[in-house]
Amino acid sequence: MDSINQKEINLNLIKNYQKLIKSNQNYSDITLKIGENLKEFNCHKSILSCQSPFFDVYLKENQVEEIIFKEISEENMKQIIQFIYTGNIQINELNLIEILNLSIKFKLELLYKLIEKLIIKDFNLNYFFEIFGKFNNLSINLKEKCDKFIQNNLKIILENEKFEKLNQKSISKIIEIIQKDSQKQNEIPIITLIKNLEKWVSNKVEKEKEKKKMMKTFIDQITIKTIQNLINIDTITIQKISENQMIPNEFISYLFSSKMQKDKDEKIKRIEKEKKEKDQQIEEMRIEEEQRIQEEKRIQEEKEIQRKQKEREYKESQEYKEMQEKRENQEKENQEILQTVFKESKIIQDTNYIQYLKEWIPNDELFKKMELGFSAINDGFSNKKFYSRCKGKTESLAIIKTRNNCIFGGFTEIGFVPKKGFSKGFKSNGKWEVDKNAFIFTLKNPTNYPPSKFNYLNGSCIYQSPSNTIWFGNGGYIGIKDLSTKKGISDFGYRDQGFEMPLGMKYGEESRNFFAGSKSWNIAEVEVYFN
């Protein structure tokens, strides 16, 4: 559906739902009475149940026609109903927290996520005190945001007047975060923490006995490790703390003992530091001497490398000249072969593959004297022409090019057609021959496997038949039956009889697709060379 039309449809739906809100009692089947004045909102059970899990459960369990929410303001409930019906809502900083509370109450997940993003984006001290400790169902994101805010703004939180309004669970949570964050602990003096705890207890508890009991609960929660991190212990600080009547005596005793232990520890640390500095000086001298020796060794090794490099460069220079001369001679020879052996070839038209063929043919002179004996393009795609041209020819090189530009073939010393032809001694199914000097090859294939030769392996490898033309390997490693169809097959590796395979390759789809990309392929040209 067109995106513009869909948008128009969505806007129309919202408009219609807005009409439902404003339609007073038309079609409504439940009334929400809101606030102290019991302002009436005519609603629809089906919509409330569909959008709010709270209403869904409530209306299933209670067959009612009205629900009263005195604790909710008229304006906030109006916004909630607007969101339930249309997905739209007007939120500002004044009603943000109240709407958050209502989204939790009515289990409006999308509204909760929307407000959560707004709060996290502009999180501040006011949001912290409004949220922290007041909601039991805060999301992980808001909980993490509150925890991180405590870690980064601990002193401001402790000194803020709203600190006294937090509940005991919130105070315990703040102490817990202080315990976990050792880096922030050093920034908050113990006296500041205790002072604010004292104010909080005095504000919440009236009886003196209960005050001491609650204060002890908080002090016990502050572990010894936390106190050690929070306070830079000195006598003046301890005296100020001891003046507080609500602080347990055992806590004061701990501070005094900590002071003595701290002084002792500092003396030990000072002695250890001096020893460490001396040991470090000795180690630096040792390292410096070792580096001097290593540098001398490096210089000697570098000189030796330079000497060998010069010697190697000289040798390589001589070898390079010889290699370059050899390459030039090879290229010259390959150009001659291209102009003689392959002068009429439609497949071999440059020297890229000639060096491989020259190395693979067992007799170099034989290769140089070869001529194009049969070309499917020139002579026709005909078995009869093939038999006529290749009859009695030994030492034959067949090169095949497919329609998808793959190039491959094979060499045989016994040839493809016997000297006497197929008139006698041949059944219609042909005759297998052993040719230990035969091989097949690939020059260009779909897998970019490098030009390679695959030697004779075992068994009969050449099939001479009046119903075939070129046939290497049992099952047709490379085979062409009827040239007129312009099709060939490759069942490379069949029964492991005939020729070697690439290292690690096994018979299967990979081997059948090796030469031309598939077992069956279309012929573009077939050329056979012999003397």
pLDDT tens digits, one per residue of 149-183 = 887 887 788 778 788 778 777 777 777 777 666 55
Q: What are the pLDDT digits (tens) for 197-217?
A: 777 777 777 777 777 777 777
| Alpha carbons within 13 A on the beta-carbon side of 383 | 18
- Measure the CA–CA gap between 214 and 200, rounded to whole angstroms: 10
- With the C-alpha atoms ordered 332, 334, 340, 344, is the resulting torsion angle positive or negative? negative
User: Domain of 302?
Assistant: 267-340
* Residue 166 is assigned to a structural domain of this protein: yes
Q: From residue 208, how far is each of 84, 172, 212, 213 by CA, in Å?
A: 50, 21, 6, 9
Decide if pLDDT at 260 tops 50.
yes
Nearest CA to 481 out of 375, 394, 393, 381 is that of: 381
Looking at residue 124, its pLDDT comes to: 84
Residue 33 forms part of a structural domain: no
Over residues 403-418, the mean pLDDT reads: 95
DSSP 495: G
What are the CA-CA distances from residue 199 to residues 5, 131, 367, 415 (Å)? 63, 21, 106, 110
Place of tokens 């703390």: 241
- For residues 499 and 477, is the Cβ–Cβ distance under 8 A? yes
Asked if the model's pLDDT at residue 68 lies above 50, the reply is yes
235 has a pLDDT exceeding 60: no
Q: Could you tell me if residue 188 is inside a domain?
A: yes
User: Do 291 and 240 share a structural domain?
Assistant: no
Same domain as 276, residue 204: no
End-of-domain residue from the set 247, 282, 297: 247
Is residue 78 pLDDT above 80, yes or no?
yes
Residue 195's pLDDT is 72
Is residue 34 domain-resident? no
Same domain (yes/no): 449, 372: yes
Which of these ranges, 149-153, 448-452, 487-491, has the smallest mean pLDDT? Answer: 149-153
Asked whether residue 333 falls in the same domain as residue 412, the answer is no
For CA atoms 184, 190, 193, 196, give the dihedral sign: negative
Place of tokens 């030994």: 394
55 domain-assigned = no
Question: What integer best gives the mean pLDDT of the chain?
Answer: 83
Alpha-carbon distance 297 to 515, whole Å?
A: 57
Query: How many whole angstroms separate alpha carbon 422 and alpha carbon 424?
Result: 6
Tokens of 340: 């003689």
Domain termination residue (choose one: 219, 247, 275): 247
- As a whole number of Å, the end-to-end CA separation of the chain is 72
pTM above 0.85, yes or no: no
Domain shared by 282 and 402, yes or no: no
Residue 149: what pLDDT? 83
Whether residue 523 sits in one domain with residue 431: yes
CA–CA separation, 46 and 65 (whole Å): 13
- Residues 486 and 376 placed together within one structural domain of the fold: yes
Give dist(CA 220, CA 293) in Å, integer.
Answer: 60
Residue 308 binned pLDDT confidence (cut-offs 50, 70, 90):
confident
In a domain, 21, yes or no: no
- CB-based contacts of 469: which residues, under 8 Å, 6+ apart? 383, 386, 387, 416, 480, 481, 482, 483, 526
Compute the half-sphere exposure of residue 65: CA atoms within 13 Å on the CB side of its CA: 4
Mean pLDDT over residues 318-333, rounded? Answer: 85
- Check if the beta carbon of residue 381 is closer than 8 Å to that of residue 486: yes
Q: Which two tokens stand for residue 242?
A: 């001891």
Residues 427 and 315 in one domain: no
Q: Over the stretch 21-55, which tens digit does the pLDDT of each residue have?
A: 666 566 788 999 999 999 998 889 988 999 999 99
- What is the pLDDT at residue 188? 59
Listed residues 340, 367, 396: the one ending a domain: 340
Note whether 188 and 328 are same-domain residues: no
274 with 321, same domain: the answer is: yes
Amino acid present at 378: N
Question: In the predicted model, what is the mean pLDDT of residues 235-253?
Answer: 55
Query: Per the structure, how many domains does the chain have?
Result: 3
Give the whole-angstrom CA distance, residue 346 versus residue 489. Answer: 21
Q: Which of 90, 162, 89 is nearest to 124 (CA)?
A: 162
Residue 290 lies in a domain: yes
Neighbour tally for 443: CB within 10 Å: 20
pLDDT for res 86: 86
In the beta sheet, which residues pair with residue 380? none
Residue 114 domain flag: no
Residue 40: strand pairing partners: 33
**227 with 375, same domain?**
no
Q: Are 390 and 374 in contact (CB under 8 A)?
A: yes
Is the domain of 300 the same as that of 391? no
- Integer angstrom CA distances of residue 88 from 76, 80, 126: 13, 9, 26
User: Can you give the pLDDT at residue 166?
Assistant: 80
pLDDT at 230 over 50: no
Which helix (H) or strand (E) element contains residue 402?
Answer: strand 396-402
- In the block, tokens 């009515």 appear at 106
- Residue 468: C-alpha distances to residues 376, 435, 454 (Å): 15, 18, 22
441: confidence class by pLDDT, cuts 50, 70, 90: very high
Q: Indicate if the pLDDT at residue 115 is higher than 90.
A: no
- Beta 487-489 vs 520-530: how paired, if at all? antiparallel
- The helix (run of H) or strand (run of E) holding residue 455 is strand 452-458
pLDDT at 225 over 60: no
Nearest to 196 by CA among 224, 171, 232: 171
Q: Looking at residue 16, what is its pLDDT? A: 67
Q: Of all residues in the chain, what percent carry a pLDDT higher than 70? A: 82
